[in-house]
Every structure is written in C-alpha cells, then in structure tokens.
Amino acid sequence: MSSIASLRHTERLVQLIARAEEASARLVAAPTDGRDRLAAIARREQARASARLDASPLTEATADEVDAGGAVARTKSEESGAREPRGSWSRALRLEGMPTQDIAAIEYANLLAVWDQESVLVQRFARDPLDVLAEIHGRLTDGLVDPAVVGRPRTSEQDVHDGAHGQVVYRGAPVAELADRLAALGHWLRAGADDEPALVVAGVVHERLLEWQPFEAANGRVARVAARLVRRRLDTAGLAVPELDWVADPLAYAREVAATIRRRGDLTRWVEWDAEVTVRALEHAADTAQGRPPPAPPARAVDALAALGEVITVVEYAEAAGVDRATARADLAQLERARLVRPERGTAGLRVRRTRSPDPSADPV
C-alpha cells in the first residue's frame, strides 16, 4: 500500500469488509417501496449530525425551518459582500455579527444541497477526485466564505479544538505540504484505490481529509461527504448514516484522528474503527429497508451474555458459551447487530461492552 494508506488487513478488518458486502447485497435486494422515504430521512439525519460534528449550534427548530423552506432564503437575501473564511465557530462569531442560527441554517442547507448532487458527484469522484473535492467545498461553504478561498488549499495554519474548552486536539498538516498531499491522494484514488474494498477506501479518505484540514473551512463536512461518495458503492441510495454514531461523541472522533497522527500514519486502527461504525449503519439501513428486525442471536449467545459482566472479551465469551474463538466472534457480531453489545474502540473487536440487557425487563427504567 502507498504512504497515503498505510494499513494492515487484519482479521477484524476482513470480517468487517465481509459484513459490509453482505449488508450491501441486502440493500440491493430490499423492496424499492418506501426507499425514497428512507433516503429523505437519511438525508436530514446525516446533514444535522455532520453540522454538529463541526461544532455547529444547529437546533432542531432551525433545521426544521430549513426543511420547510424558510430560514436560508431569508438569511441569504440579507447578506451582502464576501465573508471571511471560518475555520471554527469561535472564529466565525468573532468575525461576524450574524446570528448563530442564521449561520447554522446556511451550513445545514448546504449539506442538504450536496447530498442532492451526490448521485452525479460519485461518478466524477472516481475520475477527478480533486476537482470534486473543490466543488464539494464550494457547495458546503456557499454564502459562508470569501469566494477567493473556495476549493483552494488553505494558506493559514489550522488547529482542531475540542469545542468545549478550546484545547487543541491536533494540528492540521503544514500549509507548505498541502498541495503535495492532496495530489498524492488524488493519484491514489485514480490509480491505486481500485484494488481496495470501498469500506477501506472510504475510511482512508475520511481520515486523511480530517487530519490534513486542507481548506480554510468546512473540512470535517468535506471529509464526510467524500467518504460517503466512496460508500455509495456499497449503499447507492445513501441510506446508512454513520454520522449518528460519531456525533454521539465528537471529542472521541477528533481524538481518534490525533491518535492516528501519533501512530505516524498507520491507519489500521482508524480504518477498523471507521469500518465498525459504517458497518453498523449499513446493517441497520439494510434491516430497515427490508422491513424486519435484525435476526435474533443464538440462545447460547444470550445465555452467555447474561452470565458475563459489562465488558466482555472474545476469550471470556468463548469460555462462557463453550465455543471456539471463531464462533465466538461470529456470535458477538450477531449480538452487535442486535444492539446488545458494541465493540470497544481500538480493541480490534476483541473486547465488547454491553449496551443493554438481553432481557428487556432487566434494564433500568
């Protein structure tokens, strides 16, 4: 693999690739009735979550108003002149007197507009990835930044902060290296990525753009859109929304990028984590599209889970269930799909945490 995507195809990653392909096949086979409705829901969910992952204070009321055709048309009609580039909400609020919900409304509307174009962008992304990244950036920042910086590598150093306390989580790539890094990514996507599963390519694109922060603003949103364009090979209708998982803990999301930087570019753990979240979203989307709940785990899995603690290793599960480790992994995957457990981040699927009791009556109210 090139330096763009230095990673190992671990046993865990191979399993996740297989699960993603199985979920993709189920999405293709799912009834088409109701697909537009599910896509409309996914469209709104991903846009709201992606905006909030970039620390937007977007409220449900503002998002609902945009969906109804209100806030953005009013806000844009009141704008005049170019705006300064925004790398974060704190910078935006210092530079602008514009109310935060008006800014949030534009960001949310721009995310929806990009989603609407993805069926076209996905075809072009494979041929001209850098041109498409520049176009995505332009669409996402429409009405928010000076047109002179749209689609161009940033010229100022940029840090990613934790949002709550303003502490630096990691620093973007040096300005002097951005053009070369983007060129290398474009070359890899055109010439080397075809040999990799879509799940892996999406994870690589996602991390590299988050890490490098190539533009003056909207880098997180650009990274997630670009990753979704790749994932469209698995999910053509865009029904899976992994953003809902990431937005549950935005700081962990940023810290995983920082951890990848400390690993000197080894993307193995990032891609595994990204794949775990994506596979959960794909499987949930497939279950929903097929109109049925996930299959129940085997009885031995439920019995073993009830006998074990909150955090469970593959070895502990295998001993409790009386199965070998390969079967233990398969059982834990079914428990995960049933939303009874969730893999612990950074453990390659070797340790899971219970999310609820297999007996609903045992859960606290």
Q: Is residue 133 assigned to a domain?
A: yes
**Which residues span the domain enclosing 320?**
299-362
Residues 355, 263 within the same domain: no
Residues 276, 330 within the same domain: no
- The whole-angstrom distance between residue 219's C-alpha and the CA centroid of its chain comes to 13
CATH of the domain at 76: 1.10.3290.10
Percent of the chain at pLDDT above 90?
66
Residues 244, 116 within the same domain: yes
Q: Region 110-131: what's the mean pLDDT?
A: 95
pLDDT band at 362 (very low <50, low <70, confident <90, very high): very low
Residues 150, 191 within the same domain: yes
Q: Region 273-295: what's the mean pLDDT?
A: 93
Amino acid identity for residue 327 in this structure = T
Neighbours of 26 (CB within 10 A): 16
Residues 265, 333 within the same domain: no
Q: Region 266-274: what's the mean pLDDT?
A: 95
Residues 256, 357 within the same domain: no
pLDDT tens column, 323-358: 999 899 888 888 888 888 988 887 878 889 988 655
pLDDT beyond 70 at 161: yes
pLDDT band at 94 (very low <50, low <70, confident <90, very high): very low
Residue after which a domain boundary falls, among 230, 254, 289: 289
Least Cα distance to 198 among 290, 294, 282 occurs for 282
Q: Is residue 220 assigned to a domain?
A: yes
Q: Region 8-35: what's the mean pLDDT?
A: 93
Residues 186, 71 within the same domain: yes
Residues 241, 341 within the same domain: no
Residues 307, 213 within the same domain: no
**How high is the pLDDT of residue 89?**
39
Full-model pTM: 0.86
**How high is the pLDDT of residue 83?**
44
Q: Region 201-228: what's the mean pLDDT?
A: 97
**How high is the pLDDT of residue 2?**
60
pLDDT beyond 80 at 34: yes
Domain count, the chain: 2
Residue after which a domain boundary falls, among 246, 266, 289: 289
Residues 220, 254 within the same domain: yes
Residues 132, 251 within the same domain: yes
pLDDT tens column, 220-242: 999 999 999 999 999 999 999 99
Cα–Cα distance measured from residue 11 to residue 14, given in angstroms and rounded to the nearest whole number: 5
pLDDT beyond 80 at 116: yes
Q: Are 197 and 87 in contact (CB under 8 A)?
A: no
**How high is the pLDDT of residue 77?**
42
Residues 219, 355 within the same domain: no
- Residue 325 sits at φ, ψ, to 5 deg, of -70, -35
DSSP assignment of 113-130, as one string? HHHHHHHHHHHHHHH-HH
Contacts of 150 (CB under 8 A, 6+ apart): 134, 137, 138, 141
Q: Region 159-163: what's the mean pLDDT?
A: 86
**How high is the pLDDT of residue 97?**
61
CATH of the domain at 315: 1.10.10.10
Q: Region 190-200: what's the mean pLDDT?
A: 89
Q: Is residue 273 assigned to a domain?
A: yes
Q: Is residue 329 assigned to a domain?
A: yes
Sheet-wide strand order for 341-343: 311-313, 351-354, 341-343
Cα–Cα distance measured from residue 71 to residue 61, given in angstroms and rounded to the nearest whole number: 10
Q: Is residue 294 assigned to a domain?
A: no
